[in-house]
Amino acid sequence: MDSMELSWGARCAGLAFFGFSLCLAALGVVLLLVRRWPWCSCHVCRAYLTGSWAREFTNLGDWYAHLLRQSPTGTVHVHVLGCTVTANPANVEYMLKTRFDNFPKGKPFAAILGDLLGNGIFNVDGEAWRHQRKMASLELGSVAVRSYAYKIIAKEVETRLMPVLDDAADRGTVLDLQDVFRRFAFDTICKISFGLDPCCLDKEMPVSELAEAFDTASRLSAMRGAAASPLLWTMKRFLNIGSERELKKAIKLVDELAAAMIRERQKLGVGGSHDLLSRFMASTGVDAHAAVDDKFLRDIVVSFLLAGRDTVSSALTTLFMLLSKKPDVAAAMRAEAGGGEKGAVTYEHLKALHYTHAVLYENMRLFPPVQFDSKFCAAADVLPDGTYVKGEARVMYHPYAMGRMPHIWGTEKDAFRPERWLTGPGASFVPANPYKYPVFQAGQRVCLGKELAVTEMKAVSVAVVRAFDVEVVGENGRSGGGGAPRFVPGLTASISGGLPVRVRRLHT
Ligand code: HEM
């Protein structure tokens, strides 16, 4: 036998062994599915599994809103997902405040997002969460960080966003406004959080490896959450195939780029810096023992990217989609901000813009950037509407559906009416009960970046409406005229195909 025959033999044996292992693994999956999958043929589960809901509804969220409106309690079960879905504010308050400790994120959620988020604030419960929350709220609440953040936002608006829009107005070109806002929000959150500028909204619109890897990783992580059984993705991860192989690659790239960012920050030194990463490093003393806590810092970097980038860009995108259908609202914002005056708007001026604040909240009522949020019920419980929830079952509250409930918003629930947020003779902005409007979550884990996000969105929207008329071209701004925009499934809502617009300068 020569060496060629030997290597062929070895290869065949290897292939046979691989094939046999694959068959065994597949058999294991089938047996586990049969044993663990809660088979159900009710109309809701059938529609979910076959995807037949898509015949009538544009987005899964629209279908959930329909089911929840029909339910007398505002709560439904999707048995095949082992999930209770609710749009009932009393249930939301019970989960997020009254029985907070019984409704943690839970281990299954931590497993779904664990590869991407690690032990970052979004993905942990108990002491690990409390510790990070305390540190993050100290930093995000400090006057020094707020004024540092505002300066960054104002500069990014003036030196990057406006020139890009000016250029598009001059050329008469069609621009994907969603892409522009994602670049804007990415630059801003990187500068605020890490003191580093990725220059994504430079005129040349460079490709950011980190932004792309991050997009892929969050999209594929969200796909895990939508799977009917975790066994499907855990098997794929074990075998390193398909979407799990792609996810692993994307996360590896995120890890490398986050590590480079941390090294860069460490090189620059943290003394006197106001970015969040430096302040975290300084307050945990890791400046001196960098290697020890690099994983902790990596998890902070990824969490803040997730928190601050796609949320803000999602809200700004849907805002301009709605304003394009409501020129009267854009005109009222312009009038409130000071007509056609040019120049930077101060922080104090922004704070006084109640009508604009109402417009932002009304936009996020209809299009919350985080459309749903899941908790795990630690020990069996009964929700205020009488729904029994088994221990370790998943409960989802659904801000997108809640914004479409007549019992919360009245019969005019579908209308874009900023006035519903204004009260009294001075037409002051008054926020709704946070459990009816959990767009920033509510209770003990309420969003820590809410004020920063509102400031950022006000600064952008006021600057843009004062200088430009923005017209959505094509199909993607369908919401006002009947059909809803189509969202890409993901951790944060983004419009499929982007938001193509044409901008026209209002003053020469
Ligand atoms: C329109 C913009 C935003 C929206 C709609 C929003 C919404 C939310 C939501 C729904 C959560 C709860 C997520 C969960 O636990 O599953 C959350 C948490 C959080 N957000 Fe925001 N967010 C926005 C912007 C920001 C910004 C700009 C930052 C900071 C730079 C930020 C920082 C955080 C942090 C640190 C948490 C974790 C809180 C905790 O678990 O205790 N957010 N946000």
Q: In this predicted model, what pLDDT tens digit does every residue of 290-325 receive, in sequence order?
A: 444 788 888 988 998 889 889 999 999 999 999 999
- Does the beta carbon of 154 sit less than 6 angstroms from any atom of ligand 1? no
Indicate whether residue 304 lines ligand 1 (CB < 6 A).
yes
pLDDT band at 287 (very low <50, low <70, confident <90, very high): very low
CA dist., res. 10 & res. 59, Å (int) = 51
Q: How far is the CA of 46 from the centre of ligand 1 (A)?
A: 34
Tokens representing 503 are: 């901008």
Domains of the chain as residue ranges with CATH: 40-108+143-207+307-505 (1.10.630.10)
- Does the CB atom of residue 224 touch ligand 1 within 6 A? no
Beta bridge partners of 185: none
Check: CB of residue 58 under 8 Å from CB of residue 483.
yes
Ligand 1 atom at minimal distance to the Cα of residue 452: 27
- Reported as a pLDDT band with limits 50, 70 and 90, residue 39 is low
Rounded CA separation 405/397 (Å): 13
User: What do you get for the CA distance between the two ends of the chain, in Å?
Assistant: 85
Position 292 scores a pLDDT of: 46
Q: For residue 10, is pLDDT > 60?
A: yes
258 and 304 Cβ atoms separated by less than 8 Å:
no
Instruction: Report whether pLDDT(101) > 60.
Output: yes
394 has which bridge partners? 83, 376
Q: Is the CB of 307 under 6 A from ligand 1?
A: yes
408-449 pLDDT, tens per residue?
Answer: 999 999 999 999 999 988 899 999 999 999 999 999 999 999
Q: What phi and psi, each to the nearest 5 degrees, are found at residue 158?
A: -70, -45
319 or 147, higher pLDDT: 319
> CA–CA separation, 505 vs 455, rounded Å?
24
Segment 357-365 mean pLDDT: 98
Task: Evaluate whether 467 touches 165 at the Cβ level (below 8 Å).
Answer: yes
Q: Is 374 in the pocket of ligand 1 (CB under 6 A)?
A: no
Above 60 in pLDDT, residue 355?
yes
Q: With 80 as the cut, is the pLDDT of residue 374 above it?
A: yes
Q: Cα(485) to centroid of ligand 1, in Å? A: 23
Position 289 confidence tier, pLDDT thresholds 50, 70, 90: very low
Structure tokens at 126: 């108990």
In the chain, % of residues over pLDDT 90? 63
**For residues 12 and 150, which has the higher predicted lDDT (pLDDT)?**
150
Please give the mean pLDDT across all residues of the chain.
Answer: 88
Task: Using pLDDT thresholds of 50, 70 and 90, give the confidence band for residue 32.
Answer: low
Of the chain, the percentage scoring pLDDT greater than 70 comes to: 87
Count Cα atoms within 13 angstroms, Cβ side, for 55: 5
3-state helix, strand, coil in the chain (%, to 5): 60, 10, 30
277 within ligand 1 shell (Cβ under 6 A): no
Maximum CA extent, the chain: 97
User: What pLDDT was estimated at residue 480?
Assistant: 45
CA-nearest residue, atom 27 of ligand 1: 308
Q: What is the token pair recorded at 21?
A: 């292992």
Report the C-alpha gap between 272 and 288 in whole angstroms: 16
Contacts of 295 (CB under 8 A, 6+ apart): 118, 119
Pocket test for ligand 1, best of 310, 447, 451, 461 (most atoms within 8 A of CB): 447
Would you say residue 263 has pLDDT above 90?
A: no
What is the per-residue pLDDT for 484? 81
**Higher pLDDT, residue 345 or 66:** 66
pLDDT confidence bin for 81, thresholds 50/70/90: confident
pLDDT of residue 291: 46
How far does the centroid of ligand 1 lie from the alpha carbon of residue 309, in Å? Answer: 10
Q: What is the pTM of this model?
A: 0.89
CA of 121 to the centre of ligand 1 (A): 10
Predicted pLDDT of residue 281: 80
Q: Is 313 a pocket residue for ligand 1 (Cβ < 6 Å)?
A: no
Q: Is pLDDT at 186 greater than 80 in this prediction?
A: yes
Range of lowest pLDDT (245-259, 275-289, 420-434, 439-453): 275-289
When pLDDT is cut at 50, 70 and 90, the band that residue 11 belongs to is low
Q: Whose CA is nearest to atom 20 of ligand 1?
A: 447
The pair of structure tokens assigned to 392 is: 């370790």
